[in-house]
Amino acid sequence: MDVEGRSWNAAGIRKREDFSFFSSYPTHRLSSSGPYPSPTRTLSDQIYSASPMQLIDTHVHINFETYKSELEAIRERWREAGVVRLVHSCVEPEEFAGIQAIADRFAEVSFAVGLHPLDAGKWNNETANQIRDKASSDSRVVAIGETGLDFHKGDDPELQFKVFEAQLEIAQQLDKPVIIHCRDAAAPMAEMLRNFWQTRGPVRGVMHCWGGTPEETQWFLDLGFYISFSGTVTFKKALQIQESACMVNSDRILVETDCPFLAPVPQRGKRNEPAYVYHVAEQVAKLRGVSLLTLSQQTTENACQLFGFSLELEPRNDENKSN
Ligand SMILES: [Zn+2]
Ligand SMILES: [Zn+2]
């Protein structure tokens, strides 16, 4: 892989010519001396406030308690970082109302509805209907999930398979993509999906927070999936994930934070937030030897394609709220 791709020098700092696109960027967001580092500001400040990127964080959990008192500030920061849309994931139906309230508040938030594999024990007779009803009654629902298999922490594989399959069926019926969580389960996951494809036909979707080897990555590309990289791709020892990030076709790659988990370098160890998707994109661009602008265009276009939204935001008002 080309870790010192054409847009980067050995220290990972963008070369002067890579700032050429700033000529079309609104000057009020640039410092008076131009887009170059000013000594009084941190590197993050410079990156965020000078960025003309349009990024989509395709997987967030900003309904978590940790964000409650500061969502406005977090929104400011994701805007500064160029994040123009977010896809809010969902781990169980109890979260629906809270996630909807966030989407009411921030026009750039779309969301998924589903049950996480680690919550498979909460599946009951009502769950499928709850997911189906919400997904078909609120136009901001752009996916089913997150669902999938987690054999790292989860037990009861049989139940996980059952709950996952039920959600694949809902996604297929409603023609929505699935957001798949797959941990220590790539082989059984691929096998199950191949069987599902053969007997019932394909479902569109994304392998989120992807941590697989290049070989495993290829299995899911062959099944038609998008592959989404998170902060783990920035971790020094994550060589296989980095290799996978190099091999995914440019029309199938996505970026995400999965916040509040797995903050990317240089924020590693801190609470993650949507603005940090910038660092994920920056690393993926570097690995692939393309400019950050190119990578942001590719991933943003892919997210629009998969989730079926555009970058034009509809105003949020009471009439627009669904129940
Ligand atoms: Zn997940
Ligand atoms: Zn998640």
Q: What is the pLDDT of residues 143-154, one digit of tens each?
A: 999 999 999 998
| Per-residue model confidence as pLDDT tens digits over 258-276 | 999 999 999 999 999 999 9
User: How much is the pLDDT for 265?
Assistant: 94
Tell me how far apart the alpha carbons of residues 292 and 283 are, in angstroms, rounded to a whole number. 9
Q: Is the pLDDT of residue 227 over 60?
A: yes
**Nearest ligand to residue 61 Cα:** 2
**Of 25, 30, 55, nearest to 275 (Cα)?**
55
Q: How remote is the CA of residue 59 from the centroid of ligand 2, in Å?
A: 6
Model confidence over 119-140: pLDDT tens digits? Answer: 999 999 999 999 999 999 999 9
Nearest-ligand number for the alpha carbon of 117: 1
Q: What is the pLDDT confidence band of residue 21, given thresholds at 50, 70 and 90?
A: very low
Q: Label each residue of 248-296 as H, E or C.
A: CCCCCEEECCCECCCCCCCCCCCCCCHHHHHHHHHHHHHHHCCCHHHHH
Tell me what the pLDDT averaged over the chain comes to: 86
The Å distance, Cα 51 to ligand 2 centre, comes to 26
Phi, psi of 210, deg, nearest 5? -70, 135
CA of 91 to the centre of ligand 1 (A): 9
Query: Considering the chain, what percentage of its residues have pLDDT values greater than 70?
Result: 81
CA of 61 from ligand 2 middle (Å) equals 7
Cβ(162)–Cβ(192) under 8 Å?
A: no
CA of 21 to the centre of ligand 2 (A): 33
Q: Sorting pLDDT into bands at 50, 70 and 90, what band is 178?
A: very high
pTM for the predicted model, two decimal places: 0.83
Identify the nearest ligand to the CA of 259 by its number. Answer: 2
Q: Which residues surround ligand 1, an ion (CB under 5 A)?
A: 146, 181
Say how many Å lie between the CA of residue 180 and the centre of ligand 2.
Answer: 9
State in Å: Cα 88 to ligand 2 middle. Answer: 8
Q: Which ligand is nearest the CA of 95, by number? A: 2
Least distant ligand from the CA of 261 = 2
The pLDDT score that the predictor gives to residue 26 is 32
DSSP 3-state percent helix, strand, coil across the chain (nearest 5): 50, 15, 35
Q: What number of other Cβ atoms are within 10 A of residue 46's Cβ? A: 16
- Summarised one tens digit per residue, pLDDT across range 183-219 is 999 999 999 999 999 999 999 999 999 999 999 999 9
312 to each of 107, 137, 315, how far by Cα in Å?
A: 10, 21, 10
When pLDDT is cut at 50, 70 and 90, the band that residue 49 belongs to is: very low
303 CA from centroid of ligand 1 (Å): 17
Closest CA to 259 of 93, 46, 102, 53: 102
Identify which ligand lies nearest to the alpha carbon of 150: 1
